[in-house]
Amino acid sequence: MTQDEMKKAVAEAALEYVQSGWVVGVGTGSTANHFIDALARIKTRIDGAVASSEASAERLRGHGIQVLDLNSTGPLPVYVDGADEATSNLHLTKGGGGALTREKIVAAASEQFICVIDETKQVDYLGAFPLPVEVIPMARSHVARALVAMGGSPVLREGFRTDNGNLILDVHDLRILNPVELESDIDHVAGVVTNGLFARRPADVMLVGTPGGVTRIVP
Ligand code: 5RP
C-alpha cells in the first residue's frame, strides 16, 4: 500500500465523525484533500464547510460544497485535518503546507479535532520535521534570532507567502520534549503570528492509516 493510499483510507474513515446537518471544519494538505473528495459524496447531507485555506476552499467549491465564514457559523462540531508529525499524546506539528494559522483557528473553534495521518507521521518526539512559524514580514530577523536562542535553526521558506500575507520560518534542529511550553514560548515572541505546534489544543482523536487498515488513537 502506498502512502497516498493510506492517506485516502484514513481520510475516508473520518467521514464516520460527520453527522447530517453539520457545518464541517476542513483542513489543508493532501490528506485533507482526500477528505474533501470523500465529503463530496455526502454533500447533500451537510450544511457546508469552513476551510482552513484558500486552496481547500477552492477544492470544496469545486465539489459544489458551500464554504462558510467562521464568523457566521459559531463553534463547529468537528474539524478534520492532517499533520506533519504526531505523538501518542496527540500533540502535533502542522504547517507543512503553510496553513497553520487558519488551521489553528478552526481547530480552536471546533468541539472535536479529528487528526488523519498515515503511519509515517507517528513519532516519539516532535522536532525531526522542521517546525513552521508564521511571521509578520518586518519581524523576520527578530523572530529568527529568538528562535536561534531557543536552540533552533530557522530557515526562511523561499518564495512563499501565507494566505494571510506573511512569511514562514521553518525551524530545524529542535528536539521538542515539552511541546506545550515551547508552543507558548514561541507564540510570545513579538512578530510571531502562530507556530505549528498543536499541543495546547491537541487532537481529540487520531486516525492512523497503516497497510493493515485504519487504527484509532485517543489520549
Ligand atoms: C498544512 C498541514 C497539513 O496538515 C500537513 O502538512 C500534512 O499534509 P499532508 O496531508 O499533505 O501530508 O498542516 O499546513
First-residue to last-residue Cα distance in the chain: 27
- Name the residue with the closest Cα to ligand 1, atom 6: 96
Q: Start-end ranges of CATH 3.30.70.260 in the chain?
A: 131-193
Position in ligand 1 atom list of the atom nearest CA 96:
6
Catalytic residue among 12, 85, 103, 183: 103
Q: Is the pTM of the predicted complex or chain greater than 0.95? A: yes
CATH topology of domain 131-193: Alpha-Beta Plaits (3.30.70)
H helices, E strands: number in the chain? 7, 13
Helix (H, G, I), strand (E, B), or coil: what is residue 93?
strand
DSSP symbols for 14-60: GGGG--TT-EEEE--SHHHHHHHHHHGGGGGGS-EEEESSHHHHHHH
- Alpha-carbon distance of 107 to 168, in angstroms, equals 20
Counting other chains too, the contacts that 164-168 makes at CB distance below 8 Å and 24 or more residues apart are 164/101, 164/102, 164/134, 164/193, 165/137, 166/101, 166/134, 166/135, 166/136, 166/137, 166/193, 167/134, 167/135, 167/136, 167/137, 167/140, 168/95, 168/98, 168/132, 168/133, 168/134, 168/135
Pull the grid cell for residue 213: 487498515
List the pLDDT tens digit at each of the 219 positions of the chain: 999 999 999 999 999 999 999 999 999 999 999 999 999 999 999 999 999 999 999 999 999 999 999 999 999 999 999 999 999 999 999 999 999 999 999 999 999 999 999 999 999 999 999 999 999 999 999 999 999 999 999 999 999 999 999 999 999 999 899 999 999 999 999 999 999 999 999 999 999 999 999 999 998
Task: Give buried/exposed letters for 161-186 (b at 16+ CB in 10 A, else e).
Answer: ebbeebbbbbbeebebeebeebbeeb
The architecture in CATH of the region 3-122+200-217 reads: 3-Layer(aba) Sandwich (3.40)
- Name the residue with the closest Cα to ligand 1, atom 2: 95
Q: Residue 186: its pLDDT value, please?
A: 98
179 Cα–ligand 1 center, Å: 18
Q: Which residues line ligand 1 (CB under 6 A)?
A: 27-31, 81-84, 94-100, 103
Q: Residue 98: its pLDDT value, please?
A: 98
Cβ–Cβ under 8 Å, residues 79 and 25: yes
Q: Residue 123: its pLDDT value, please?
A: 97
87 Cα–ligand 1 center, Å: 15
User: Catalytic: 16?
Assistant: no
Q: Residue 175: its pLDDT value, please?
A: 85
27 Cα–ligand 1 center, Å: 8
CA nearest neighbour of 24 among 46, 7, 5: 46
Q: Start-end ranges of CATH 3.40.50.1360 in the chain?
A: 3-122+200-217
